Amino acid sequence: MKPRDLVAVLNLPKTERLVLVAEGLELLAEHVGTLRDDLIHLQEAGRSRGAAVIDGLASEEAAKLLILLDVVRMGWADTDAVRGQLRNFYNHLARGIYVRVIAGRPADLAEVRRYAESLRRSLYLDGPNDVDWIFRNSVEADREESLYVDYVTTEGDSAWITPARLSDLKLSSWPSMVIDLALALHRFGCTSEKGLEIIAKEWSGVSLADDTHWGVVEQVNRSILEMLEAAGLCSADLTQRDVRLAVEQWTFPLGGLDLSAIKVTKTELAAERERWVASQW
């Protein structure tokens, strides 16, 4: 047995790949839906901390569904790019970037690229002046601090942190948008083999560059949804919110972006801060 072996899909003939991808997407949709139901039960019981943990897990599983859909949207021609995208399936940082990008409304691909790059930095400066303190990667920090009790050292300070802080969060914070987007796409039929064929056909030949406006993606989204409906693939319980999410929040394909961590050192950030301070005089 070899776990974490999704890259093996590249060993299959192209004619068989969508079958395997569709099978995985259906399983992911079922899992995300079940976790969402459990999340709602925790919300209704006033269990904020547990709801936050389940939301985080369901969000990462929903991101995996979107990662697979992006494999289909990007096509199979660039084997190295597809291999990198399949590896994102197992990467906590890449999944977290998907979760955050989905919640935005970018004007063009360049905006997505800049935002994703900012989320890849292992350390970054922030504070009232944007350079006051050094923080660890926010995607990784938010994930781990919602799951684990830990002793954390920051600049000039050390302290225990605990997920108990989540007990004070508003219950309306969940489910995260990425969860509902993934389930909306599932109800449209995007996770079926026929749905994937439609997605692949509509994205075939679409060329993306940094200056590609959001309207291009929105139009492709609308065309896909219309074809899914015409093919009778939509679920009977599809809602108007599903339509809005699928049209407006199914963002640019991220398959061509590097979502790996960017190593940043404290020395580099300290020097950047010193330059900022010097520029103020």
Q: Where are the domains of the chain?
A: 6-107+171-260
> Residue 267 corresponds to which tokens in the numbers above?
């020395």
The yes-or-no verdict on residue 67 having pLDDT over 80 is yes
pLDDT of 168 reads 73
State the helix-helix crossing angle for 92-102 and 177-188, rounded to 10 degrees.
80
Give Cβ neighbours of residue 249 (< 8 Å, ≥ 6 apart). Answer: 102, 103, 177, 181
Residues forming a β-bridge with 153? 158
pTM for this structure? 0.95
pLDDT digits (tens, 9 = 90+) for 260-272: 999 999 999 999 9
Give the contacts of 48 (CB within 8 A, at least 6 positions apart): 42, 166, 167, 168, 169, 171
Q: Which residues lie across from 123 on neighbouring strands?
A: 136
List pLDDT tens digits, range 68-106.
999 999 999 999 999 999 999 999 999 999 999 999 999
Residue 182: what pLDDT? Answer: 98
Q: How far apart are CA 94 and CA 33, in angstroms?
A: 21
Q: What percent of the chain stands above pLDDT 90?
A: 91
Task: Give the distance from CA 235 to its chain's centroid.
Answer: 24
What span, in angstroms and rounded, lies between the C-alpha atoms of 123 and 266? 7
The whole-angstrom separation of Cα 71 and Cα 86 is 7
Burial category of 214 from C-beta neighbours within 10 Å (exposed 0-12, middle 13-18, buried 19 and up) = middle
On whether the CB atoms of residues 188 and 245 are closer than 8 A, the answer is no
Helix (H) or strand (E) holding 152: strand 150-154
CB 74 within 8 A of CB 255: yes
Tell me the pLDDT tens digit for each residue of 136-182: 999 999 999 999 999 998 886 889 999 998 877 666 678 999 999 99
Helix (H, G, I), strand (E, B) or coil at 45: coil
Calculate the CA 219 to chain-centre distance.
21
Q: Judge whether 142 and 165 are in contact, CB under 8 Å.
A: no
The pairs formed by 96-100 with CB atoms below 8 angstroms and a separation of 24 or more are 96/60, 96/63, 96/139, 96/140, 96/142, 96/143, 97/139, 97/254, 97/259, 98/63, 98/66, 98/67, 98/178, 98/254, 99/59, 99/60, 99/62, 99/63, 99/176, 99/178, 100/139
